[in-house]
Structure 1
Amino acid sequence: MSVLPAMRMLPSPDLAKAMSTEGLRLMFPLAALHAALWPFLWVVVWSLDLPFAVTSLPSHWHAQEMLVGSFGGALLGFLTSALPEWTDTRRVSGRPLFLLAGLWALARILGLLALENASIIGLIFDQAWILFLLAYALRLSWTNKRTDLLGFILFVTAFAAAAAMLRIAMALELYDLSESAIRILGFALLGLLGLALARITVPVTNLILDSTEKTSPYRPHPGRIHLSAGLAMLVILAEAATLSDAVRGYLMIAAGAACLDRVAEGFVGREGLSFELGGLWLSSALAGTGLLVCGLSLIGLPLPWLGGLHLALMGGLGLGVLQVLSIAGLLHTGQPLRFSKTARMAILLLVLSVLLRVLPEFAPSLSLPFGAYGLTSALFSLSFLLWAKAYIPLLWSPETVDQERC
Structure 2
Amino acid sequence: MGRRSRATAAVLGGEALRLFFPLAALHAAAWPLLWVAVYGFNLPLARTVPPSLWHGHEMLIGAFGAALLGFIFTAVPEWSNQDRPRGPILFVLAGLWGVGRLVGLLGADVLGGLGALVDLAWLGAIVVFLAFTAVRLRAWGLRGFLFWIGALWLSEAATRYGFLTGDLQLARTALWLSVLAFTAVLGLALARITPPITNRILDPDLRSTPFRPHPGRRNLGPILIAAAMVGTILGASAAVEGFLLIAAGAAYMDRSAEAFIGRAFFRSEVLALGGSSALAGAGLLLVGASRLALPIPELAGLHLLTMGGLGLGVLSVFAIAGKLHTGQALGLEAPVKGAFLLLVGGTLARVAAAFGLADPSLLPPLHLAGALMWAGAFLLWLQQYWPFLSSGAGLDVRTAPSEP
What range describes the TM-score normalised by the shorter chain of this pair?
Answer: over 0.9
- Name the counterpart of 1:3: none
Q: TM-score, normalised by structure 2?
A: 0.95
Q: How far apart are residue 16 of structure 1 and its match? A: 1.9
1:195 aligns with 2:218: no
The separation in 1 between residues aligned to 2:50 and 2:152, in whole angstroms, is 21
Pick from 303, 307, 314 the counterpart of residue 307 of structure 2.
314
Query: Tell me, what secondary structure is at the counterpart of 1:399?
Result: coil
What are the residue-to-residue correspondences of 1:290-309 with 2, within 5 Å? 290-309=283-302
Q: 2:81 aligns with which of 77, 88, 93?
A: 88
Q: Secondary structure at the match of 1:262?
A: helix
Displacement of 1:62 in angstroms is 0.7
Q: Please state if 1:376 is matched with 2:355.
A: no
Map 1:4-403 → 2, pairs under 5 A: 7-8=1-2, 12-367=5-360, 368=362, 370-403=364-397
The aligned amino acid for 1:389 is: Q
Q: CA–CA distance in 2 between the matches of 1:363 and 1:65? A: 25
Q: Deviations 1:21-66 (Å, cap 9, x if unpaired)?
A: 1211110010010000111112111212211112221111111110
Offset at 1:364? 4.8
Structure 1 distance, partners of 2:399, 2:141, is: 23
Distance in 2 between residues matched to 1:302 and 1:42, nearest whole Å: 27
Where 1:52 maps in the other structure, the secondary structure is: coil
Q: Distance in 2 between matches of 1:30 and 1:169?
A: 27
Unaligned runs of 5+ residues in structure 1 are 1-6
How much does 1:207 deviate?
0.8
Cα drift, residue 148 of structure 1? 1.2
Cα distance in 1 between the residues matched to 2:104 and 2:363: 28
CA distance in 2, matches of 1:397, 1:222: 40
Q: Structure 1, residues 364-391: CA drift from partner, whole Å, max 9, x if none?
A: 5545375341111111111111111111
Q: Is the 8 A contact 1:14 1:398 kept in 2?
A: no
In structure 1, distance between residues paired with 2:352 and 2:359: 8
Q: Residue 362 of structure 1: CA displacement?
A: 2.5
Distance 1:33 1:92, change over 3 A: same
Alignment-mate amino acid for residue 143 of structure 2:
L
In 2, Cα distance between equivalents of 1:366 and 1:205: 43
Q: Deviations for 1:158-192, whole angstroms, at most 9, x for unmatched residues?
A: 11111121122123222221211111111000000
CA contact (8 A) 1:333 1:405 kept: no
Corresponding residue SS for 2:72: helix
Question: Quick one: distance in 2 between partners of 1:26 and 1:117?
Answer: 29
Distance, in Å, in 2 between the alignment partners of 1:87 and 1:56 is 41
- Pair 1:90–1:76, CA change in 2 (3 A): same
| Paired amino acid for 1:137 | L
Partner of 1:4: none
Q: What amino acid maps onto 2:299 in structure 1?
A: L
Q: Which string of whole-angstrom CA distances, capped at 9 and with x for unpartnered residues, describes residues 169-221 of structure 1?
A: 12322222121111111100000000000000001001111222222211101
| d(CA) in 1 for partners of 2:369, 2:154 | 34
Q: CA 1:339–1:241 in structure 2 vs 1: closer, same or farther (change >3 Å)?
A: same
Query: Which amino acid counterpart does residue 268 of structure 2 have in structure 1?
Result: F
Pairs aligned (count): 399
C-alpha distance in 1 between matches for 2:141 and 2:229: 20
Q: Is the contact made by 1:248 and 1:295 (CA closer than 8 Å) also made in structure 2?
A: yes
Indicate the percent of aligned positions where both proteins have the same amino acid. Answer: 43
C-alpha separation in 1, matches of 2:356 and 2:33: 24
Paired with 1:294 and 1:46, the residues of 2 have a C-alpha distance of: 27
Structure 1 length-normalised TM: 0.95
Give the letter for the 1:204 counterpart: I
